[in-house]
Amino acid sequence: MASISPLIIDVSPADQAAGIPIGEHVEVTFNQEMDRSSVNTGTFLVIGKDEAPIFGPIDVTPLDEPGFEDEDILSSPYFGAHVKGKIEFYKIDASGGVIDDDSIVDEEADGMLWKTRAVFVPDQPLAVNSEYTVFLLGDENTNDSLDTGVRTRTVFDTKEVAVTGTGSVTFGGGYSASEERTYALEIIVPGSTGVAEYRWWDEAHPLNVYEGRTTTGIRELEDGIFVTCSNDGDFETGDKFSVKVVPYLLLENNYQWIFTTGSGSIVTPPSDSSASGIECLNTEGESGGLEIVSTDPEDRETNLDPASITTVTIVFNKALDAATITNDTVKVIAEPVNGDPRFTAQGELTQDITVTGSTISIAINQDDPIELYPNNIVLIELDETVASTDGSTLGEDVIWYFTTTYTPLYSSIRRIRLDMGILVSDIPDDTINLAIFEASLSADQQTFILGSGAYFEYARREYTTCLAEQILYGALSGDGSIFGKMSKRLGDLSVSRGGNPQLMSNMDDLQECVEKWARILQSGGQKGPYTSILPGIAVKGSRSEDAMATARQWAPSSISSSPAANTSGRFYTSRKGFRTYKKRSSGKYGYYGDNDND
């Protein structure tokens, strides 16, 4: 069994190689036998100018074919420059030659009988004069509980212990347990595949025996181990097979390297297209230029106390040329988070910049005048001319931002994410906070009577939540193409979309929710859901502007008349003379006062 972690011993094209033929394949060679299923198009990627979108695992509303301009924006993110292709594998001997797959097997779980070469074969030729980046993903932290990326071989070749029949058995999969094992499989009912039956067991626990029927399909035994049987040949009773399995070892770190294609006329790779080692490969994500490694506050960090922000720190991957760091090339600008001039913001801040090695520190003035306030978006702008001591530059302007405390804020990010689920899984916290903030401002505007108590606060929170979710739905829907039906014709070309009734229904439900809680807010929490906030009593035909029908009414009567017996409420007004009656404690109606406006 191999006891050392897998290593990359050769790549082609090499890092920074140029003039590579557009029909060239991308190769990586490992120092031992590898789990081929772990080296796939999710762990071995080539990124360039290609336009093939590769979607994530969830497409919540698959309305369109991928790749169109109007594709569903609620689907999971994808790479837009992913090179499509397939991966082929070869066994490599000590001298670098290719070994025929059938000429060597590993039944004893040695793990080091050959090296593994993975070859990425693009479906189409690469673009001419273009830069490509190769990513090989391992495990960034082998000490945590999450194991990811490329790994060593775990399920080895089948050993024929005692076989008289002509059928064969193949074990495979990816073993997931943590100890070495040997599994045995014995035929107990003879026949062809589909007829023959077997029993299997872990040789360390021979009393725990399981049975199954042979099949050409894949059948899992346990812990990620699969067995499949040949399509031809027959099995005889007593035919016995075994396989050894071992725990995997992970490739440590992620790797990337870059190469550039030629004009398209080059057919032979240049001499520097293959590397004899991996010393030049990058495991930290640097591409040779100047890049930002980290910032404090982080990009899109939200709801920060403005009084706590005294310094903005930017860390680069290289030592900086201090002469290129000035108030003209590094700026900090504070603006109202929603563009509303009613909120205080200082604009471009006075700043004290310090450069130490690869770090820029920008002191924010918290004295008089204070420069940061609540409801500010703070933008940090770096000019493309910011350079390192080796002459590398950013190459393009870089802007990142954070936001200070949002106030008012009557709902929470957790509540919004709970309600909307996968729809907002990729929406930044700050975007959700902005939606809550706008909804909270609206809640304040809807509060005609300032209420108090738990019911008013509950109504304000529900109103804010519903409106914030409605704002986010609207943002996600764009021009509404996701929600509504669409049919277009251009000559003989017809394009149509059926729409998404569920999303439209969600929007309708949110609008109803907003309206329901708005009434309660407007009354300061004195009204319940689905009740009016307008005057509780109105007289049919009244000239009063606010006398709308919201309770029972009766026709004008004489000055001495009383309200109809089936009316309800505390005060009643007769039309003539606007005489008002009030219900006494005795249950009878008594004269309350005259209104002489009529």
Distance between CA atoms of 269 and 585, rounded to whole angstroms?
Answer: 103
pLDDT (tens digit, 9 = 90+) per residue, 133-173?
Answer: 999 998 887 777 888 889 999 999 999 999 999 999 999 98
pLDDT at 81 over 80: no
Distance between CA atoms of 307 and 359, rounded to whole angstroms?
Answer: 23
pLDDT (tens digit, 9 = 90+) per residue, 513-543?
Answer: 998 888 888 888 777 666 655 554 444 554 4
pLDDT of residue 72: 40
Give me the sign of the Cα torsion angle 381, 385, 388, 392: positive
Mean pLDDT comparison of 277-281, 298-302, 547-551, highest-scoring range: 298-302
pLDDT of residue 58: 38
Residue type, 229: C
Q: Is the peptide bond before 6 cis (omega within 30 degrees of 0)?
A: no
Q: What DSSP letter does each residue of 231-275 carry, written as one string? A: SSSEE-TT-EEEEEE----BPBS-EEEEEEE--S---S--TTSSB
Distance between CA atoms of 109 and 267, rounded to whole angstroms?
Answer: 41
* CB contact at 8 A, 165 and 177: no
pLDDT of residue 366: 64
pLDDT of residue 341: 84
Residue type, 441: L
Provide the CB-side half-sphere exposure for 146 (13 A, CA). Answer: 5
pLDDT at 422 over 90: no
Distance of CA 21 to the CA centre of its chain: 36
Distance between CA atoms of 529 and 513, rounded to whole angstroms?
Answer: 10
pLDDT (tens digit, 9 = 90+) per residue, 175-214?
Answer: 989 999 999 999 999 999 999 999 999 999 999 999 999 9
Burial of 552 (0-12, 13-18, 19+ CB in 10 A): middle
Distance between CA atoms of 167 and 144, rounded to whole angstroms?
Answer: 43
Phi-psi region of 81 (alpha: psi -120 to 50; beta: other; left: phi over 0): alpha
pLDDT of residue 281: 56
pLDDT of residue 86: 92
pLDDT at 352 over 80: yes
pLDDT at 1 over 70: no
Give me the sign of the Cα torsion angle 27, 31, 36, 40: negative
Kind and range of the H or E run holding 440: helix 429-446
Kindly list the structural domains of the chain, giving each domain's residue range(s) and its CATH number in brackets, ordered by start.
8-150+251-261 (2.60.40.3710), 159-245 (no CATH), 292-404 (2.60.40.1220), 413-522 (no CATH), 535-598 (no CATH)
Residue 335: strand pairing partners: 377
Give the sheet arrangement for strand 169-173, strand by strand: 169-173, 225-229, 219-220
